[in-house]
Structure 1
Amino acid sequence: MIAFDFTSHDLMLAGTVSLAILIALLVLKAFIARQLRRLTSAGRLQFLSYPEQIINATRVPFMLAVALLAGISQLDFSPRQEAWLHYAWIIILVSQIALWANRMITVAVQRAFDRQLQSNPAGATHLMVAGLVARIVLWSIATLVALDNLGFNITTLMASLGIGGIAVALALQNILGDLFSSVSIALDKPFAIGDFIVVDSYMGTVEYVGMKTTRLRSLGGEQIIFSNTELLKNRIRNFKRMQERRVQFEFGVAYETSIENIERISQLVKQIVSSGQFAARFDRAHFKGYGDSALLFEVVYYVLDPDYNLYMDIQQAISLALLRQFRECGIAFAYPTRTLYIAPDANPSADQSRLRVARPIGGMERKDA
């Protein structure tokens, strides 16, 4: 059983030292944070934002632990108790240094992500993976340093972790599958944040690519969440990387249209699309065939910009121009009609006399022609 033999003077000294150090740390943090905030807000010395983040990451529990340990260090302990006090210092200092480094990684990754998102969205995805890897390496090193200073045999520990890691990997294979899929997305870049993609029957704009999931914002406004593994198993159509949009549409004219007008229609369509009023490139226009109630034409052109709203504006303008030209030329668009021909009866029946059956009179039935 651990016994302590401290006088009231020793305890008062330890408490005074702890309180003084805690107050000094709080005042020092507030002063440094205020000065750094003033310098960075003035637009000067922007690199000081990193020390400001370090100061903000220094929490009251850490300062309280430092103050308590500093006060306790004023007391006389046995060698074994001194060793435990030394271990407490190691754990607190290593943990706080790791927290500072973690904050630096978070700030650096977030700033790089914001810059890449504006200039190169495809390159922003891999930064999330890089941040995760950096944090894993950081905390692994911090743990090994702490264990080494606590007297553990790291070599034996690493060997046991290698065996245990296999069991952990088997238990977490789904999570690890999503993790490796996120690395594949970051390296291969099938899409980036801000791209409009279609996956199976779902479509939306990529909002976030994480370690386990990818999130889309659909046209209806709701958020669609895919696991990275399931996402890569499907075919993905990326409309953001479309350089130009191929448009194909059909229309029909009435069968009563004259041969001369039918021969003019393809040229009329070409003149409208190639007039220079639209950001479009004409490809072809042909009399395609015969429909149930229309002579069918097929038109193909390319919109030179992938924007969907621009495509709809151009298609609307072309349709209005076609309607205007056709009315000026007397060409009628076809609509579903059905003509009924009634064939005359080949063998008309002669008038036959009607046979009327009267009521029986006197037991006899009378028939009048």
Structure 2
Amino acid sequence: MNWQDIARVLQLDFPEIPKLAVFFISLLLALLIGRYTPGIVRLIIRRFSPNQVTDLYENLIDPIRGAFKLAGTLILVSLSMAWLQPEYQSLFNFFSPFVDLGVIAGVAWLASRLFRQFVRVYGIDLLKKLGREADELLLVVETLVNVIIGFISVLAFAQSQRFNLIGLMASLGIGGLAVAFAAQKILEQLLSTVVLYLDRPFVPGEYIRLQDKQLGRVESIGLRSTKIRTAAKSTLIIVPNSTLMSMDIENVSRAKKVMVLLYMDFTKPLTDEDAALVRQVVSEGTDAVFGIDPGSTSIAFTGPPGREELNGARQRARVTFFILGSNENSIQLRKRLLELANETIAQRLSGYGIKFTVQEPTMYVESPVTM
């Protein structure tokens, strides 16, 4: 029994609401309810995992609330499109491809951000438990997963539009095989260009050093070759992209290091033996982190905060070292590794009866590497 049957029994006569009006009402509700998608997800997590709801929500969902809101809103908008059928079929056929594209793109973006957040929060700890070193492999895995998500998204959109993308690729593959043998050199150049754009070892405007130690500025990346302006003679070097792919190239512009400055405040003054132990544990802990400049750790002991001039007192340590990285993702990964190293240092020193607190926030100062 639905509301129409109830109205018939009670002899109530309601005017029939046009489906177009129902569509606009449901569209408005979708825009309003979609904003509360993170809260709905939190309720679902609480239903199936009540003990871990706070940890999962704060680590995985809250940092990417925007992606959840967008994906939830687009899914609800897609569901509201059902009210356009069959009376407004032409309107449905017009908007359906755009809505499907938005839903698939929104869900794909959410999946990519969610996997990235999972790797940042739990991936490093998981590798540590497995006895593996957390290095650039995490960034490579993240890139591969994003490529897979993008490929699945393209297939899903093609399937939603009843477009046989797999059959088209198979038919093109047979004919393309003959073309590949006829134009092998040209295809090699084009594929090298595609790899350069995807891998992005350098971009126009950056300085690179070639195998022959020539330093130059990348002016443009073409379909067949890359133009490099030398720094010494200001001449233009044109290098085929396939040659660059097989060459060891040093990107000078992306070489940068971040100086980390933190203060350790101890609960009691340190003896000479304690100070030496702290110096050893901190040096070993930072040198063990992948991406920290080896031997750059410097530790200076002073008096307590506000009384640094106190003679002989060792109640505060100023620790400085350098993090090396080529891009923002690698720097963020090393900062996360540094947080884990701080926990390890605190545990080791606590075993010797030395307790401390780290002054917040930790200072990060970018310092470009000189040419």
Asked if TM exceeds 0.5, the reply is no
By relative contact order (CA 8 Å, sep 6+), the higher-ranking structure is 2
Higher gyration radius (CA): 1
TM-score, normalization: structure 1? 0.37
